[in-house]
């Protein structure tokens, strides 16, 4: 190969195999994809060692993608259960899986995941560092954090979340601007704590160039984490969050200079009316880098239903230009998600992504809806099931009902508006009480 | 009483008992409520014969309200089941219940409902007309439709949906502008069919003044229905829909001239990016009358999950100024909702309404979220449950998990960001692996 990373190839005018696949999937000329990757507006996270991947593009003009979080932890150390979640995510066509494993033999699960996952794979190396070294947080040496990234790269991880924007300067902004919920990013809080406990600069910030060299070696995409992601609607769009975003913009330019692809992670908890401004800010301050959002959750009061609060925020974010949605499950804030939670989280995120795609005019997005509406207009139930986001649920729901008329549903029976209109526009009588 | 309707009182400068209660509930001076009612920007649907009501205001500056649909039909003629749904709606603090009964002894259910419901009650008299007269649609005489409204008024119904905007002129616009899904409003399609079958003007339009006299007699609020509510995202914001909205604006002025309160019903299926424009249009074309939306559903492809597609659209609509959300359940497009569907529909609508209230700055809306965030920051689980929109679900979820640490949850265990930040900001060590 006469290039190192996708971005290096793109800048050299080379259209890679991965770009071709992305172009094909999106129905967009490969040259447009190449140009997007060259400018950093599109990322194609595809580690050279992840040979089973079916590459996807994330960024401007492309379909909004979704990510599924899973992984083993001390409270839930069941590799088989997590592998079933992986299979479900793949079956449901999630484009990315983040392995947030943080306990025990994480590499065993990670290897199985890389082997089986056609979806891109992300990790948060900091989560893994404690178990990796079997050391308490403060005892981990700065460069040891980098070695975990290298290990993940070698294993085939396509993108890594790195909280390099939580540097000394950002932490000063944070300390000067008290928040209701402080830092709720798990990796961000670990970095902040490590810095305080060791009275040192953030290792990923201090050794950022070395980190970039590791990323370039495997073509790992950097997902620059937002340690100051608001954890309460009271904390959103505050100086800490925006200061960190400015830092992430600087780090983006440095990554691109070394041909490392970048995504930017975003909020979080946030009032609905702030979401669009946050997307605009990210796209401006981070020079058009793809935006990867968690939620946003538009209210704090609905634990048990955060797949819905997140779908509201995610749809609005995607509509405004966010490129990648991290799923939120009903279990958020309460426990690790079980399989049913994962399923509900994926569906809610897919709804949000698709609603955003219709709104921002992604190529072909409306065609699916129009096919469904044609099927509805024809009262063609088998076709409606086939086109439904979740055919099984749709089928099960209608089957439960006792039907007055085979063609309609129990909501309106023979008062079905579609039936009434078909009859009257055909010049037929509209008998509702009697046949 | 020296006034007829709430609007009549408001115009005369009288602050009614109902206005006082609304003012108290909203934490807004009664004079502001009076002024809103006088101008038609706030409606207080409260039939004089509905003595059990706890009045609510719907409109500018007030909390977004939600409505629950239920009622007996041929496919599901179980009065006890519907009464259990009513009790659930009341327990969950829905502000309105629409009784869409359309089969058999509708008045038996309606009477029980009026007796027990502190929530305002709405109906769609046209649904009831066929059973009321035991006649096929085309055989019902124009003025017989009005008699059903009078009967509902006598029974204590607080607001009625009337599709008076689907007049000859609107039906011509509809016929000239073909749609993917024609008319999907049940009442709208019945009116359109009746007009075609009898070659006559819409009876509610033709005898609108008489209808207004009936409404004024009982202080029924008119909920002017949108027959051209789009049933597919392909059909939204089209000439038929907007033409009908212009008609509804004219009908609004005529109602206000007779001191009849008005709400305007709205979409429907609609791409996310059209929602704000639709709210602005309604508020302009209908002179600030409260906007009552069904959804909007931001995609057509998710049957089984339309409580989510509707929550996305509803939150955006509420944020932009919609005042009243009709709930959508997971059963929409598939069957009549069962009790669990009703429950999920109510929760999703409440999330949408509250997210909208935070966004549009309704008084006190953020206080609830801030209390929740304080409880989260303190890892105070009993308080979190108490403040949750659905305490039972939140409690059940966390109880299912095996916990490494009593204070945290199984999502992060001892890597809990809140725990980490508390320790490090207190100058303590952050032990994660070992106690």
How far is the C-alpha of B65 from the C-alpha of B56, rounded, in Å? 8
Task: Give the CA distances from residue B178 to residues B168, B173, B191, in Å, rounded to whole numbers and listed in that order.
Answer: 16, 9, 18
Whether residue A296 has a cis bond before it, omega within 30° of 0? yes
Spell out a b/e string for B281-298, using b for 16 or more CB atoms within 10 Å of the CB, else e.
bbbebbbbbbbbbbbbbb
Which H or E run includes A11?
helix A6-11
Q: What is the pLDDT of residue B105?
A: 77
Q: Give the separation between CA A186 and CA B417, rounded to whole angstroms.
A: 5
Contacts of B301 in chain A (CB under 8 A): 354, 368-369, 372, 387-389
Query: Within an 8 Å CB–CB cutoff, is residue A92 touching chain B?
Result: no
Identify which of B261, B10, B37, B19 has the alpha carbon closest to the alpha carbon of residue B158. Answer: B261
Contact A345, A87 (CB under 8 A): no
Smallest CA–CA distance, residue A91 to chain B, in Å, is: 17
Quick one: closest CA in B to A230, which residue?
B373
| Alpha-helix runs per DSSP H in A60-141 | 79-91, 106-116, 125-133
Q: Please return the burial class of A296, using the count of CB atoms within 10 Å of its CB with bins 0-12, 13-18 and 19+.
A: buried
Hey, is the C-beta of B104 within 8 angstroms of any chain A C-beta? no
Q: Which of B130, B163, B269, B301 to mutate to test the interface with A (most CBs of A within 10 A)?
A: B301
DSSP, res B52: T
Q: What is the DSSP letter of A297?
A: B
How far is it, in rounded angstroms, from Cα A271 to Cα B119? 29
**pLDDT at site A330:** 97
Residue A393 contacts B, CB cutoff 8 Å: yes
Out of 3.20.20.540, 3.40.47.10, 3.30.1280.10, 2.40.30.10, the CATH code matching B6-359 is: 3.20.20.540
- Given an 8 Å threshold on Cβ–Cβ distance, is B370 in contact with A232? yes
Which of helix, strand or coil describes residue B281?
A: helix
> Which pLDDT score is estimated for A411?
80
pLDDT of B410:
81
| ipTM for this prediction | 0.96
Q: Which of residues 257-316 of B touch A (CB under 8 A)?
A: 269, 271-273, 298-305, 307-309, 311-312, 315-316
Q: What is the pLDDT of residue B262?
A: 98
CA dist list (Å): B260 to B126, B178, B223: 20, 34, 11
In our burial notation (b when 16+ CB lie closer than 10 A, e otherwise), range A328-342 reads bbbbbbbbbbbeebb
- For A395, nearest residue in chain B (alpha carbons): B334
What band does A76 get if pLDDT is binned at 50, 70 and 90? confident
| pLDDT band at residue A435 under the 50/70/90 scheme | low
Question: pTM here?
Answer: 0.97
Using a CB–CB cutoff of 8 Å, tell me whether B180 touches chain A: yes
pLDDT band at A319 (very low <50, low <70, confident <90, very high): very high
Contacts of B394 in chain A (CB under 8 A): 303-304, 334
Q: How far apart are CA A229 and CA A152, in angstroms?
A: 24
Question: Between residues 51 and 80 of chain B, which touch chain A (CB distance below 8 Å)?
Answer: 73-76
**Separation in Å, CA of B313 to nearest CA in chain A:** 8
A308/B389 touch (CB, cutoff 8 Å), yes or no: no
Contact at 8 Å (CB) between B213 and B267? Answer: no
Q: CA gyration radius for chain B? A: 23
Q: Does A358 touch chain B (CB under 8 A)?
A: yes
Is the separation of the CB atoms in B292 and B258 below 8 Å?
no
- Determine contact: B231 vs chain A, CB below 8 A: yes
- Determine whether the interchain pair A272/B192 forms a contact, defined as Cβ–Cβ distance below 8 Å: no
Q: Domain ranges in chain B?
A: 6-359, 366-425
Q: Which of residues 106-125 of B touch A (CB under 8 A)?
A: none
CB contact under 8 A, B393 and A305: yes
Pairing of strands A262-266, A291-294: parallel
pLDDT, one tens digit per residue, over B271-322 is 999 999 999 999 999 999 999 999 999 999 999 999 999 999 999 999 999 9
DSSP string covering B78-139, please? Answer: -HHHHHHHHHHHHHTT-SEEEE---SS-HHHHHHHHHHH--SEEEE-HHHHHHHHHT--GGG
| Residue from A187, A319, A399, A415 whose CB has the most chain B CBs within 10 Å, to mutate | A415
d(CA A420, CA A408): 11
Between chain A and chain B, how many beta carbons pairs sit less than 8 Å apart?
Answer: 384
pLDDT at B189 (0 to 100): 97
pLDDT of res. B106: 87
Which residue out of B81, B138, B194, B298 would a mutagenesis test of the A interface target, given it has the greatest number of A Cβ atoms within 10 Å? B298
List of E strands, A56-197:
58-59, 65-70, 96-99, 120-123, 159-162
β-bridge pairing A96-99 and B96-99? unpaired
- Summarised one tens digit per residue, pLDDT across range A353-383 is 999 999 999 999 999 999 999 999 999 999 9
Contact list in A for residue B235 (CB cut-off 8 A) is 373
Q: Which of B332, B369, B374 sits opposite A233 (nearest CB)?
A: B369
pLDDT tens digits for range A236-269:
999 999 999 999 999 999 999 999 999 999 999 9
**A166 touching chain B per CB within 8 A:** no
pLDDT in tens, A132-175: 898 999 999 999 999 999 999 999 999 999 999 999 999 999 99
Q: How far apart are the first and last CA of chain A?
A: 72
List B96's β-bridge partners, or say none.
Answer: B67, B120
What is the rounded distance in angstroms from the CA atom of residue B432 to the CA atom of residue B413?
9
Q: How confident is the model at residue A401 (pLDDT cuts 50, 70, 90)?
A: confident
Between helices B275-285 and B306-320, what is the axis angle to 10°? 50
pLDDT score recorded for residue B411: 80
Q: Give per-residue burial for B188-221: e unless 16+ CB within 10 Å, then b.
A: bbbbbbbbbbeeeebbbbbbbeebbebbbbbbbb
Query: For residue B136, which residues of chain A lie inside 8 Å, CB to CB?
Result: 429-434
| Tokens, residue B17 | 């008992």
**DSSP conformation class of A332:** T
β-bridge partners, A59 = A42
| Peptide bond between residue B296 and the one before it cis (omega within 30 degrees of 0) | yes
Using DSSP, state whether B15 is helix, strand or coil.
coil
Interval A81-137: pLDDT, tens: 999 999 999 999 999 999 998 877 788 999 999 999 999 999 999 999 988 898 999
- The shortest C-alpha distance from A217 to chain B (Å) reads 30
CA B169 vs CA A350, A427, B165, B176, B266: distances in Å: 41, 20, 9, 11, 19
- pLDDT at residue B402, as a whole number: 67
Q: Of A157, A105, A108, which is closest to residue A134 (Cα–Cα)?
A: A105
Could you list the mean pLDDT of each consecutive 10-residue stretch along chain B, which spans 435 residues?
Answer: 94 98 98 98 98 98 97 84 96 97 86 96 94 92 97 98 98 97 96 97 98 98 98 98 98 98 97 98 98 97 98 98 98 94 98 98 97 96 96 90 74 88 92 76
CB B166 within 8 Å of CB B244: yes
The residue of chain A with its CA nearest to that of B353 is A299
CB contacts, 8 Å: B355 with chain A: 271-272, 298-299, 309, 312
B398–A330 CB contact, under 8 Å: no
Q: How far apart are the first and last CA of chain B?
A: 72
Tell me if B334 and A401 make a contact (CB, 8 A cut-off).
yes
The shortest C-alpha distance from A397 to chain B (Å) reads 6
pLDDT digit string, tens, across residues A201-225: 999 999 999 999 999 999 999 999 9
- Closest to B186 (Cα-Cα) out of B326, B375, B308, B393: B326
Confidence at residue B164, expressed as pLDDT on a 0 to 100 scale: 98
Residue of B nearest to A413 (CA): B75
């Amino acid at each position: 190969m006469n290039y190192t990373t996708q971005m290096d190839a793109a800048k050299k005018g080379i259209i890679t195999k991965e770009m071709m696949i992305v172009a094909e999937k999106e129905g967009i000329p490969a040259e447009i994809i190449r140009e997007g990757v060259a400018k950093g507006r599109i990322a194609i996270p595809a580690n050279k060692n992840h040979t089973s991947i079916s590459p996807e593009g994330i960024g401007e003009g492309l379909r909004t993608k979704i990510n599924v979080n899973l992984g083993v932890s001390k409270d839930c150390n069941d590799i088989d259960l997590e592998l079933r979640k992986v299979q479900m995510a793949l079956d449901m066509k999630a484009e990315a899986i983040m392995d947030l494993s943080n306990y025990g033999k994480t590499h065993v699960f990670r290897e199985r995941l890389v082997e089986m996952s056609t979806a891109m794979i992300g990790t948060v190396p900091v989560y893994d560092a404690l178990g990796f070294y079997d050391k308490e947080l403060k005892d981990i040496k700065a460069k040891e954090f980098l070695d975990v990234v290298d290990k993940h790269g070698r294993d085939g991880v396509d993108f890594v979340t790195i909280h390099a924007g939580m540097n000394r300067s950002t932490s000063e902004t944070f300390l000067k601007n008290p928040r209701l919920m402080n830092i709720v990013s798990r990796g961000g809080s670990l970095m902040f704590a490590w810095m305080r406990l060791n009275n040192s600069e953030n290792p990923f910030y201090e050794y950022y160039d070395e980190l970039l060299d590791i990323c370039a070696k495997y073509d790992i995409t950097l997902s620059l984490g937002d340690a100051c992601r608001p954890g309460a609607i009271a904390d959103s769009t505050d100086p800490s969050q925006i200061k960190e975003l400015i830092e992430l913009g600087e780090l983006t330019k440095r990554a691109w200079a070394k041909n490392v692809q970048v995504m930017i992670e975003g909020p979080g908890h946030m009032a609905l009316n702030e979401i669009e401004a946050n997307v605009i800010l990210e796209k401006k301050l981070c020079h058009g880098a793809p935006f990867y959002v968690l939620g946003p959750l538009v209210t704090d009061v609905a634990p048990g239903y955060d797949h819905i609060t997140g779908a509201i925020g995610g749809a609005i974010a995607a509509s405004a230009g966010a490129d990648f949605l991290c799923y939120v499950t009903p279990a958020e804030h309460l426990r690790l998600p079980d399989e049913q939670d994962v399923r509900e989280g994926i569906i809610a995120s897919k709804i949000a992504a698709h609603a955003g795609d219709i709104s921002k005019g992604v190529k072909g997005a409306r065609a699916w809806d129009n096919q469904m509406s044609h099927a509805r207009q024809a009262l063609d139930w088998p076709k409606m099931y086939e086109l439904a986001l979740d055919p099984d649920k749709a089928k099960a729901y209608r089957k439960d009902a006792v039907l007055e008329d085979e063609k309609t549903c129990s909501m309106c029976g023979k008062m079905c508006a579609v039936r009434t209109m078909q009859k009257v526009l055909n010049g037929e009588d509209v008998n509702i009480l009697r046949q």
